[in-house]
Amino acid sequence: MPVPPDPTILRPMPDQPRVVLLKPLVTSPLIEVGEYSYYDDPDEPTAFERRNVLYHYGPEKLIIGKFCAVGTGVRFIMNGANHRMDGPSTFPFPILGGSWSAHFDLLTGLPNRGDTVVGNDVWIGHGVTVLPGLRIGDGAIVGAASVVTADVPDYGIVGGNPARLIRTRYSDQDIARLRAVAWWDWPAEHITGHLRTIMSGSIADLEAATPHTPW
C-alpha cells in the first residue's frame, strides 16, 4: 500500500532544505498549524516564528489550516503592532521604560481584531503581508506581494495593495460542494489513493471519492 509522507518530519524533502512543514516547527502556543502546511524560504525557513509572525504578544492566535503553501517572505502582522491613534502622537512612549513606563495604561485597550485565520488548501504567494484579525478562506490564492487588508472569501483569488478580489475559482454552489467534501480532512491514506482526483479531477469526481464511513 502506498505510504503518505510523514507529517511530523520537519523537512519532508531532504534535498530541498528550504521547505519545512510548519506543524512540527512551531513551538508558540499562540500559533496553530494543520498537517502538511509548509513554508518555503532559501535562507532561514526554521525562523518562521521569529521572522514571519510579527508583533505577536497575544492573546490572539495565528491559525493556519491543512495543506497550505506559504511563500518566501510572507508576513503575518499581529495585533501587537497597533498604536494609539486618538491623540496627537502615535508614539508608544511607555514601552521604552524609565519614568515613561508609569503611563503603560495608555497602551491598554488598543484595537484587537482577534485571531488571524488561514483556511485549508490556501496558497499565499511570495512576499505577501497579512494584516491582523483577517480570515483567508479555504482554497484561496493570494498573489505575490499583496497586502491583505480584508477577509478573503473561500476559493477567492486576490492580489494587489490593498489586495482586491480578482475572481473566485468556482461558483458559490460549487464552493459549497467543495467545502462539504473537505478533502483535507480525509485520512492521509485515502488522500494518497485519490491524489490525481484532488489535483486534477472534477468536483463530481471528488464527491464520488469521499469516504462514506467515519474515520
Cβ 68 vs Cβ 34: under 8 Å: yes
Q: For the beta carbon of residue 175, count every other beta carbon within 10 angstroms.
A: 20
Helix, coil or strand: residue 99: helix
Q: What is the Cα–Cα distance from 120 to 79, expressed in whole angstroms? A: 22
DSSP 103: G
Catalytic entry in 56, 83, 190, 194: 83
Of all helices (H) and strands (E), which one includes residue 41? Answer: none
83 has catalytic annotation: yes
Query: What is the DSSP code string of 125-153?
Result: -TT-EE-TT-EE-TT-EE-TT-EE-S-B-
Active site residues: 83
